Every structure is written in C-alpha cells, then in structure tokens.
Amino acid sequence: MAQETKNTEKKAEGRGPGPKLPIGEFLNYKKIWLLSFGLTAAFAIIPVIFFAVLNYNLTRQSLENDAEARASRLASNTWRSLSSFLNERKNALNYVVRSNSFEQLGNIQQLANILDFLRQSFGGFTDIGIIDATGVQSTYAGPHGLAGKNYKDQQWFKEAMAHGISVSEVFLGFRNVPHISIALRHTAPDDRHFIIRATIEHQLSGILSEVKTAGNGDAFLVNAQGVLQTPSHHFGNVLEKTNISLPPATDQTHTMTIALEDGQDLIAAFRHIPNTPFILVILKSKQVMMSPWHHSQVTLIQYLGISISVILLWIAAVTGYFFRRLEYLDLKRSKYFHMAEYENKMASIGRLAAGVAHEINNPLAIINEKAGLIKDMAHFKPELKQDPRLLETVDVILGSVKRCSRITRQLLSFGRQTQTAPVPLVLKSVLDEVLVFLVKEAQLKKIFIDIDVPDTLPQVIGNRGKLQQVLLNIVNNAFAAMPQEGKLSISAQKTDEPFVRLDISDSGCGIPPENIKHIFEPFFSTKTNQGGTGLGLSITYGLVQELGGRIKVESKVNEGTTFIIYLPTTKQKEE
C-alpha cells in the first residue's frame, strides 16, 4: 500500500519537466490544451478578422466615393469654363446687334469691321452674317461668299427663331476644320426679326486640353447621339461615334463607372452644358485613383497576418502556461525578472544617451575656452608667438566652434518661430537667416548674390516665420528661373510712406506678359509638367497680405524678373 501511494505521488508530480503522467491515466492535458487554445484563438481572432474586413470595405467605399466626387468637381469646374467661353461669344454677338441698327448691320463694310473687331478681341471668329426672317442671308462678311444663301430649312435656323438662340454641333466647314456656329435672334425697332450668326473655329478642345486628368484619364465633348465634338484619347477623333451610354439631360453632374474593351475601368462624370448640344465627359482611371487603396490592401494583409500570428503565439504561451508545473512558473517568473532587468538597463542607456546629447555643448565650450587661452598665452610668451602655425591653428579651432554655434542657433531660430503677434523685425537679419540655407545651392549653380540692405533701415513689423517663408519662396523661384552663373540682387530702401521697399531681382528667363496677371492666382503654373503646383506665389501673396504689406512683379522675357515687396514699419503701427 505504501509502495502504491508512493507511485501515485510520483505520477502526480509528473506534469512538466521530468517524469510525465501517462496520457489518459488522469487527465488528457493535450486535449484540454488544444480545446482551450482553439476556443481562445477563435474568440480572439474572429473580431480581428471582422474589423479588418469591415475596414477593408469601408476604405474601398470611401475611396470610390472620393474618386467620384473628385471627378464630379472636375467636371463642374470644366463645365463652368466651357459655359463661360460660349457666353462670352454670345454676349459679344448680343452687344453687336444692340449697338448697331439693322441698316448698319446690312452694310457689308460695317459688318466686316465688326468681324475684324471680334477676331482681335476674342479670336477664332471665321465669318458673320445677317439672316432675315425668311432664312436668306442678306449680309455676309467672311471668306466663303455665302451672301444670299437660304437657311430656312436648317435646324439651327428653326431653333434660333423659336428659342432666340442656337449653338450648333461641331461641323467641318469649307476648310475641313472643326467649327461651331452661334445664332441669335433679334427684333428690330420696327418689329422685324432677324438672326445674327457667327462661325467660330473650334476652340473647345484647347480648353479641355488644359484639364488635368491623372493616369489614363480623358476629357472631351459629345452630343446627345454620342458623336465626339472634341478629340478623345480613348474613343477617337472629332465626329466619330462612341458607344458611351449617356445619362438623361439634367442640370446635375452624373458619375458612373464604365469599362473599356481592354478591361480597364474608368470613372466617368457627365455634365450637360445648358443651351448647347454638348455633353462634357470627364474620364479618370479608376485604377490610378484607387491605387492608395490597392497599396493599403497589401499593408492590411501584412498587418492582419502579423496580428494573427502574435495572437496565436500569445494564446499558445498563455494556455500552455496554465498546464505547467509550479517549477515552470518559477522559471517563467525568473525569466520576467531578467527581462525587467534588461528593460531597465535599456532605459538607463537611453537616459545616458540623452544626457550625453544634452551635455555635448560643454566640451565645445571648453574647446572654445582653451583655444582662447592658448591664443592669449601665445601673445605673452615669445617662444609661442614666434610659431605662426600655432596661432593659425587656434584661429581655425575658434572659427570652427563659432561657425558650429552660429549654424545651430540659426537652424533653431529658423525652425522655432512660434510667435503669432506681430513683432519688430530687422529685415537684414531675417534675410540672412533665409540665405544661409541657400548658399550651397547658389555655389553649385554659380549664382552671384548681391545684397544691398542698409543697417539703417527702420524695423519692419510682422511675424518672423511668415516673412521667412515669403523670402524663401521668392528666392527659390528665382533660383529655379536662372541658369548657371546667374545673378540675384536683393536691395531695400525707405519710402515716403511708413513702408520698407524690398526688391528681389533675378537674371532668369522672365515671365511672358500674358502670364504676369495670373502668377498670383492659385494653381496657375507654367511648370505643371515639372512637378509645379501653382500654389507657391499664391501662398506668398497671401502671407504678404497677412503681414500688412503688398507685392507686385515686373518682368521681361529673357531679361529677368523683379518682385517688389512693401513691408510695414514700426512707425505705421504707432500711427
């Protein structure tokens, strides 16, 4: 009996390292462990997978909605540009008929003068004619000799007589060049009806060519029958038939997804242009617009796999822990003590590193002090004074320490501009803080910088960080506009007003006159194909306004550009 009890105690102790219980004699620990592991893993992993799938679908739906919204906004903005273009021509013709009598319009020379005026003011006008109520073109000015032609059976004539206006679809004309025509009905003082009709070279494709569609996008016009009115990247040239399913005519923008024959999906936005036969179509590549989501799929799967692996490993460790012997618990506790000790050691190393970083200025100060002491000693000891290399070496050490301190202070000063209230600023000091970061680029491009900013200038009032950003934007633009061996001139002077005038001139390529009036507009850029966003000068203009100043630009092509900035002084604040 005693031997049997002893054997039973040995079997009871056999859970863990050392002798083990025979499987099935008391408890099937493997089966219990597998059951516990399976249930715990199921309850832990199922919510993770559920939320991962939920996030996956919500993200995709959100990006799809955002892509459709962006296509819709682009279609709305482009529609306004097209509508504005057509309205300008309509208003010009309306002005012509209201400012000239029917007899004046019947004069061929007068009508030819009007045509020349329209060509010079708007461009693209091919001819112009006056059609009476019977459909006969009584007066015509243009290259095709269409005087006397009868249009009573033409659809545009009937539409203009019925509704007062008609904008034609695109047609090729005599020169086989795409044209559109605009016809307006007018009533003379004697109640006679007549129509003024002008043919305009097709400029709509030029407006659409400026629309930026990412990736394999497209922007074009079609009519109600799906015939192209402008060239399309996907569907061919003008007057070719497309197989696009068009939405019903409304005053809202419609979006849908269409599939090309090559299997590519495109997000399409449709907008009917009022009082015209045109339908604007904006196509954006769904694959390109959904690329962030496609990239997030891989990341999501990776994180999900890592999370599940960590959960399974953790569950395996935890469930196994409950079926170990007490000795294993002590071993585990000892292991945790070692881990805590290691983490404490790592924390101490981190504090030590922080202390070293904080105290690194002390040896620099000592170097500076000792180098100065050596220099002083050299002046009093003849044997040291006679060695020029010693003094040169000490000067190099002092110069390096001084340069290191100056660069550190300038960097911290440039990066830590947190004040919001306007404060007095020394313009030359702010300018030096900006140029210190551009000296290397100027040296690489061999750009000569000429600075003429007197120290006697009155202080300007403003925010240092905003003024730094203004100067940095303008100087960066100047560097980009100048070739190798250019010249940047910066000068400042007092004015009769409580302002300081700052001129920043470069010897770059200059700005064409037609672009001068647009350079401060948001998103206007001549370097969009080079990564430009068109926001730099717009932001600069806004910052100058916030500083209480004003900015203007003068430029000549191939000679250079000058930005003139007026900054308020402290005297203006006192007034």
pLDDT of residue 307: 84
Task: Kindly give the confidence (pLDDT) of every residue in the chain, 575 residues in length, as a single tens digit, with 9 standing for 90 and above.
Answer: 344 444 444 444 444 444 343 333 444 567 777 777 788 888 888 888 888 888 778 877 888 888 888 888 888 888 888 888 888 889 999 989 888 888 888 889 998 999 999 888 888 888 899 998 889 998 999 888 888 889 888 888 988 888 889 998 888 876 678 888 899 998 888 888 899 999 888 778 778 877 766 556 788 999 988 899 888 888 888 888 888 888 887 788 888 888 877 777 888 899 998 888 899 998 888 877 777 767 777 787 888 888 888 888 888 887 777 776 645 555 556 545 544 554 454 345 334 433 433 445 556 666 766 677 777 777 677 666 666 677 677 777 776 666 565 555 544 444 444 456 788 889 988 888 888 778 878 888 888 999 999 988 999 998 887 888 888 889 988 888 887 888 999 999 998 888 999 999 999 888 888 888 888 876 677 765 555 556 678 778 888 988 899 999 999 988 899 999 999 987 665 55
Q: Note whether residue 26 is domain-resident.
A: no
**Distance between CA atoms of 39 and 28, rounded to whole angstroms?**
17
**Distance between CA atoms of 329 and 355, rounded to whole angstroms?**
39
Helices (H), 322-425: 326-359, 361-380, 382-385, 388-415
Q: Note whether residue 5 is domain-resident.
A: no
Question: 37 near 319, Cβ under 8 Å?
Answer: yes
- The CATH number of whichever domain residue 161 belongs to comes to 3.30.450.20
CA distances from 9 to 4, 24, 66, 79, 107 (A): 9, 17, 70, 90, 127
Q: State the residue for tokens 């529609």.
A: 79
Running DSSP on this structure, what letter comes out for residue 328? H
Q: Note whether residue 50 is domain-resident.
A: no
Same domain? 193 vs 212: no
Helices (H), 449-535: 464-481, 513-516
Render the burial of 293-310: b for 16+ CB within 10 Å, e for the rest: beebeeebeeebeeebee
Same domain? 403 vs 479: no
Same domain? 365 vs 354: no
**Distance between CA atoms of 85 and 525, rounded to whole angstroms?**
21
pLDDT of residue 28: 58
Same domain? 569 vs 451: yes
DSSP letters, 82-128, are HHHHHHHHHHHHHHHHHHS-HHHHT-HHHHHHHHHHHHHHTS-EEEE
pLDDT of residue 128: 92
**Distance between CA atoms of 444 and 439, rounded to whole angstroms?**
9
Same domain? 380 vs 447: no
pLDDT of residue 322: 74
Running DSSP on this structure, what letter comes out for residue 489? E
Same domain? 393 vs 465: no
Q: Note whether residue 46 is domain-resident.
A: no
Q: Note whether residue 139 is domain-resident.
A: yes
Please tell me the total number of residues recorded for the chain in this structure.
575
Name the domain boundary from 387, 414, 441: 414
Render the burial of 414-424: b for 16+ CB within 10 Å, e for the rest: beeeeeeebee
pLDDT of residue 527: 67
Same domain? 377 vs 339: no
The helix (run of H) or strand (run of E) holding residue 131 is strand 125-132
Q: Which two tokens stand for residue 48?
A: 């993770």
Q: Note whether residue 95 is domain-resident.
A: no
Residues spanned by the domain of 394: 361-414
Q: Note whether residue 49 is domain-resident.
A: no
Q: Which two tokens stand for residue 326?
A: 């007490």
pLDDT of residue 177: 80
Q: Note whether residue 300 is domain-resident.
A: no
Same domain? 429 vs 528: yes
pLDDT of residue 22: 39
Q: Which two tokens stand for residue 266?
A: 């495109």
Count of beta carbons in the 10 Å neighbourhood of residue 184: 19
CA atoms within 13 A on the CB side of 338: 6
Name the domain boundary from 172, 202, 232: 202
CA distances from 293 to 212, 218, 248, 377, 428 (A): 21, 22, 32, 70, 49
Same domain? 408 vs 480: no
pLDDT of residue 514: 87
**Distance between CA atoms of 242 and 260, rounded to whole angstroms?**
12
Same domain? 211 vs 262: yes
Running DSSP on this structure, what letter comes out for residue 169? P
Same domain? 283 vs 404: no
Overall domain count for the chain: 5
Same domain? 227 vs 337: no
Q: Which of 467, 473, 360, 351 is nearest to 408 (CA)?
A: 360
| Beta partners for residue 141, in sequence order | 128
